[in-house]
Amino acid sequence: MTIRTALRNPLVAAAFGALLGAAPLTAIYTLRPAEAANMAVTAAQPPGDVSVALPDFTPLIKRYGPAVVKISVIEKAAGSSTGQSQNPFGPSSPFAPFFHGFPFQAPQEAPVRGEGSGFIIRPDGVILTNAHVVAGASKVTVELRDRREYPGKVIGMDKVSDVAVVKIDANDLPTVQIGNSASLQVGQWVLAIGAPFGFDNTATAGIVSAKGRLLPDSNYVPFIQTDVPINPGNSGGPLFNMAGQVVGINSQIYSRSGGYMGLSFSIPINVAMHVADQLLASGHVRRGELGILIQPVDQDLADAFGLPKPEGALVATVYPGSAAAKAGLKQGDIILAMNGKRVQTSRQLPVRVASLLPGTLVHLTIWRNHAERTIEARLGSMGAATLASAGNPQHPGGRLGLVVRPLTPDERQQANVPGGLLVQQVSGPAEDAGIEPGDIVLSANGHPVSSAMQLHDLVSKSHGHVALLIQRNGVQTFVPIQIQ
């Protein structure tokens, strides 16, 4: 199974050193004759031939390497105690009387140590790193490249974006140059500097593999994916472009072993600086919120709603009193664009909404009743009800296959719904789509249903595609079904 790994050093430096010591470095890889010949041919190419030209990172490392720091943390072990117990044997032990009145120090667990990286953004000692590097730390130590060490103070951290700001008491420090991650292009060379396995100021390079990656447990950071070798200890270190500008903070890897396997993810510097500015100003981060639950739009749902192609974010739930409810957004609307920028996939919407401050007025282009329309919404503040993805329902095809009955008044009150149909039996495509007995069918293709005949009529007029709004355990989601 592929495992997402945060890059805080898990104290594997000793094991890694043992691995290096197990064999001479010269024996790690030997060129075969054909490879040596290929290298010779490449070396013989004219210097101006761009087809074989490789970047030289030397000036960049010399200029900005001193602004990259190593961060060491100590945190108390879980369950550790500083208290005393009366005796080590317990009251039922025959030796207990001999220890009566004598304090006995309980055994202590060793503190947890970790390492990461960071980079200086202001000459007075303001440093950016990952929140997971300093989270829970009782002591933070920052080491510069010239070996000077300073105690670090965590000014603020934001676990949603995994960004933290640390301050050290120093002046006239070297700093990095902040770039624009929005201008980064797939295929461009990038360089990482950090402290993998504790080896400080280690430089590794690669290219941008993709932009806007949304990882399974992160709805608000459009990660930069690279093939730059990143390992534990690189967390919080900078990702540079060829102009020497920081375009990202190295944060996550995908790995089966805990080490680098070719997939590295960095927080875009535009996102990180937006968070850092708020942390420096107030110590916390404010994010906009619509107050809806959304789900992806696939081909079956697009067909059911009459959408020309699968795109946008389907509104599965509108929270009462939210910004979306006040704006008139409805369940079954499909958000196609925000402020004129198209929403290609549902996962793009939370990122864009969260990047705006509460109170921001946004223009939403929605799909309702087979036509586009525009509404305005003034964003609320992210709280308990967040804009997130409801996940991907299953959607095979076939006949409907449902036996339903109207809800009783008590059932409607218990489910907190104005009407609907209780699913009693399931077969065929409805069963394949994941509908279960006990589910409540609230609407079909956007039309509320309160009788089996009404559902039958809507299905017969559906032209082969039906989107049922289902409530299960208090959660509502659309399930598309194809009728053949």
**What pLDDT does 77 receive?**
58
pTM for the whole structure: 0.67
Residue 367 located in a structural domain: yes
Give the integer Cα–Cα distance in Å for 212 and 74: 33
- CATH label of the domain that carries residue 333: 2.30.42.10
Q: 149-151 and 153-158: which strand pairing?
A: unpaired
Catalytic residue among 209, 235, 251, 264: 235
Catalytic residue among 132, 200, 389, 443: 132
What's the domain range around 238? 3-16+54-60+176-282
The number of folded domains in the chain is 3
Per-residue pLDDT tens digits for 450-465: 887 788 778 877 777 8
**What pLDDT does 375 receive?**
96
Among residues 11, 6, 469, 16, which one has the least CA distance to residue 258? 6
**What pLDDT does 47 receive?**
53
Residue 442 located in a structural domain: yes
In this structure, what token pair is assigned to residue 239? Answer: 């990702």
Mark whether 272 and 297 lie in a shared domain. no
Reply yes or no on whether 462 is catalytic: no
Reply yes or no on whether 158 is catalytic: no
pLDDT at 359 > cutoff 70? yes
Mark whether 209 and 300 lie in a shared domain. no
Give the integer Cα–Cα distance in Å for 230 and 242: 18
- CATH label of the domain that carries residue 186: 2.40.10.10
pLDDT at 382 > cutoff 90? no
Per-residue pLDDT tens digits for 82-97: 444 444 444 554 444 4
**What pLDDT does 100 receive?**
45
Give the integer Cα–Cα distance in Å for 236 and 266: 9
Residues 6 or more apart in contact with residue 23 via CB below 8 angstroms = none
Residue range 434-445: average pLDDT? 91
Rg (CA), the chain: 29
Reply yes or no on whether 465 is catalytic: no
State the average pLDDT for the chain: 81
Which residues on adjacent β-strands are paired with residue 263?
none
Mark whether 426 and 459 lie in a shared domain. yes
Per-residue pLDDT tens digits for 151-203: 999 999 998 899 999 999 999 999 999 999 999 999 999 999 999 998 999 99
Residue 471 located in a structural domain: yes
In this structure, what token pair is assigned to residue 29? Answer: 């890889």
Catalytic residue among 117, 158, 162, 346: 162
